[in-house]
Structure 1
Amino acid sequence: MSPTRRVDHWQDPTAPVPTSRKPSASALVRDDAGRVLLLKRTDSDVWTLPTGGLEKGETLRECAIRECREETGVEIETLGLVGVFSSPDHVIEYVKGGRVDEVRQPVNVCLHARPVGGKLTATPEAAEVRWVEPDDLGDYEIHPAQRRRIDHGLRGGPPHVD
């Protein structure tokens, strides 16, 4: 079975039409030094916050905590809402075996979080995991949809809602 490749589109008029919507949660995790937790996805080779789809029987908070642990090895506690990101400008295309398997318009709830345990660990979903200084974020290839979450969370203020 060939691996699934993820292609994120942002404000792309040639992007495929979404065939589904799925709720997901992400975590803007900052350590005591203010650094941001990022991982380099194995399915797209871009840097992202820990994020993933909501499973049956779990809350969005539980989803963010689980995804962070599974993708980075870091245990977190959530602190509040960064925002709800559901712009139709963001479309995710999943390609399997050279064919489009799904095209999704995500609905993501991003939460502020802090580490409470675990250790940075590369995983099947994360080729690399790092703590990144906010001033160094421009040195990383981060998709615009992810960068919106990060930038809003770093600026502070009321939660963002699309």
Structure 2
Amino acid sequence: MPKRIDYYDDPSAPAANSMVPSVNVVVENEASEILMIRRSDNGNWAVPGGAIDLGESMSQAGVRETFEETGIECEITGIVGIFTDPKHIILYTSNGEARQEFSILLTGRWVGGRPTPSSESTEVHWVGASKLADLTMDRSMRRRLDHYLTRPSSPYFD
């Protein structure tokens, strides 16, 4: 199975050969729990997200990716920040793409559906903020969630 390998400030990381704008969405339900997936390509926990397709806005991509990966329908409610750290390289073993991070972190509100795994997620759960620290996730995802949880007054940019 193709894998995703995340490198951070690692001299053994491959040189980046692409940059693809993508979105991640922190979706909350009525109980203020956060929608989390266990990624099928690396086993780590993450919020749903993926590449923005040509002809689609970042909000449309966020709604589409959330539904595809989780079965949850959401509406986009805001932005946490934009994460573009060139030290974070993502290697996709299926095609040798070594992508520099470019992720827009959005917020969303649950409007329907139920957690359902997909080809991109082996598990989908609503998780209370106090339980996020117990989940294994990549450093970059943990950083994004930390920014979300601190609820800054303006978006984060790097």
- The 3-state SS of whatever aligns with 2:133 is helix
> Counterpart of 1:72?
70
Whether 1:17 and 2:15 are equivalent positions in the alignment is yes
> Counterpart of 1:144?
139
1:79-130 residue CA offsets vs partner (Å, 9 max, x unmatched) = 111100001121100112xxx6210002111101110001100111100001
RMSD of the alignment, in Å?
Answer: 1.0
> Counterpart of 1:4?
2
Q: How does 1:94-133 map to 2 (within 5 A)?
A: 94-96=92-94, 101-133=96-128
1:115-158 residue CA offsets vs partner (Å, 9 max, x unmatched) = 00011001111000011111111111111101111110111111
> Counterpart of 1:31?
29
The structure richer in strand per residue is 1
Shift of residue 15 of structure 1?
1.1
Contiguous gaps of at least 5 residues in structure 1:
none
- The 3-state SS of whatever aligns with 2:102 is strand
Residues in 1 aligned to 2:140 and 2:20: alpha-carbon distance in whole angstroms? 15
> Counterpart of 1:42?
40
What is the one-letter code of the residue matched to 1:57? G
> Counterpart of 2:157?
161
Shift of residue 11 of structure 1?
2.5
Please list every run of at least 4 consecutive aligned residues from structure 1 whose deviation after the TM superposition is greater than 4 angstroms: none
Identity of aligned residues (%): 38
Aligned residues: 157
Shift of residue 37 of structure 1?
0.7
Contiguous gaps of at least 5 residues in structure 2:
none
What is the one-letter code of the residue matched to 1:150? L
Residues in 2 aligned to 1:85 and 1:32: alpha-carbon distance in whole angstroms? 27
